[in-house]
């Protein structure tokens, strides 16, 4: 158990809908990351938050947005869903140490999103 | 553009033998490398990492080797155990990009009895 929790575990929805994925980081971790894993692909970095502020952005679609709240949990919002958005979405957290080099990321169990 | 490549999608090894998983990268700015293991229906689990200032890092049965000139790293598991059967992801990071990790597509390791 990494200490990172994600809800829900599974989500099935229709095209055009909007969903919210939730992540609670490990106790004490300030950084939260979101990754997307499509079928047979590696994990693709979407976005990072550090202590409530956006720190880095990857290839995140404009239809997707995220935020980190004062209690450090994070939510990833996916809107106008398309079939191609079906994927595993992972959240990771890290202490957010200065320098960043050895700031190991610990992953949650993921949310499997299916868009029909 | 796949900056981190794991060219072997699968590998089968007998229990007790050595497993060698390979990873190549193209971005010379990468200076920190990690290996994660992933079981079905679980998130990736951190295994071992190596900084670009080293060429080897060892942790129990797991050793990672880094060849910077060849832009190649490998994970050695000795001896391999059935519980090691999982998908292994190589990931890389460069200091200038905060903590963003770039992942390979993974190698599925099967350790047989």
**How far off is chain B from A12, nearest CA to CA, in Å?**
16
Residue B99 has pLDDT above 90, yes or no: no
Residues A91 and A6 sit within 8 Å (Cβ to Cβ): yes
In A, minimum Cα distance to B9 occurs at A40
CA distance A51 to chain B (A): 14
- B10 vs A: CB within 8 A: no
Residue A74 touches partner B, C-beta closer than 8 Å: no
- Asked whether the predicted pLDDT for residue B14 surpasses 80, the reply is yes
Residue B102 has pLDDT above 70, yes or no: yes
A60 interface with B at CB cutoff 8 Å: no
- E-strand ranges in B1-113 read 4-5, 10-14, 19-25, 32-38, 45-51, 56-59, 62-67, 72-77, 86-93, 102-103, 107-112
* Residues in contact with B36: Cβ distance below 8 Å, sequence separation at least 6, in sequence order: A107, B44, B45, B46, B47, B88, B89, B91, B103
Tens digit of each residue's pLDDT (9 = 90 or more) over A60-81: 999 999 999 999 999 999 999 9
Please tell me the distance from the alpha carbon of residue B80 to that of residue B85, in angstroms, as a whole number.
9
The pLDDT of residue B97 is: 56
Mean pLDDT for the stretch of residues B81-110: 89
Task: Tell me what pLDDT residue A96 has.
Answer: 75
Per-residue pLDDT of B47-77, as tens digits, reads 999 999 999 999 999 999 999 999 999 999 9
Percent of chain A residues past pLDDT 70, beyond the cut: 94
Cβ B76 vs Cβ B59: under 8 Å: no
* pLDDT score, position A97: 63
Label residue B98 by pLDDT band (50, 70, 90): low
Q: pLDDT tens digits for A13-65? A: 999 999 999 999 999 999 999 999 998 778 999 999 999 999 889 989 999 99
List C-alpha distances in Å: B5 to A12, B17, B66, B86: 31, 24, 14, 18
């Amino acid at each position: 158990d990494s200490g990172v929790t994600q809800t829900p575990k599974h989500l099935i929805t229709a095209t055009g809908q909007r969903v919210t994925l939730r992540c609670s980081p490990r106790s004490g971790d300030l950084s939260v990351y979101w990754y997307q894993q499509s079928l047979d692909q590696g994990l693709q970095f979407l976005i990072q938050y550090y202590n409530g502020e956006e720190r880095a952005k990857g290839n995140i679609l404009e239809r997707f947005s995220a935020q980190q709240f004062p209690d450090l949990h994070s939510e990833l919002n996916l809107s106008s869903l398309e079939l191609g958005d079906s994927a595993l979405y992972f959240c990771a957290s890290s202490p957010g140490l200065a320098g960043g080099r050895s700031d190991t990321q610990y992953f949650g169990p993921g949310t499997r999103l299916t868009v029909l | 553009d796949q900056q981190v490549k794991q060219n072997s999608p699968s590998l089968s090894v007998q229990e007790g033998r050595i497993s060698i998983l390979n990873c190549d990268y193209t971005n010379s700015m990468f200076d920190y490398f990690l290996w994660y293991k992933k079981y079905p229906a679980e998130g990736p689990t951190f295994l071992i990492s190596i900084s670009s200032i080293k060429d080897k890092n060892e942790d129990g049965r797991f050793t990672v080797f880094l060849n910077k000139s060849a832009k190649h790293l490998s994970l050695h598991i000795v001896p391999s155990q059935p519980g090691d059967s999982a998908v292994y992801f190589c990931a890389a990071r460069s200091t200038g990009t905060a903590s963003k990790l770039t992942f390979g597509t993974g190698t599925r390791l099967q350790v047989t009895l």
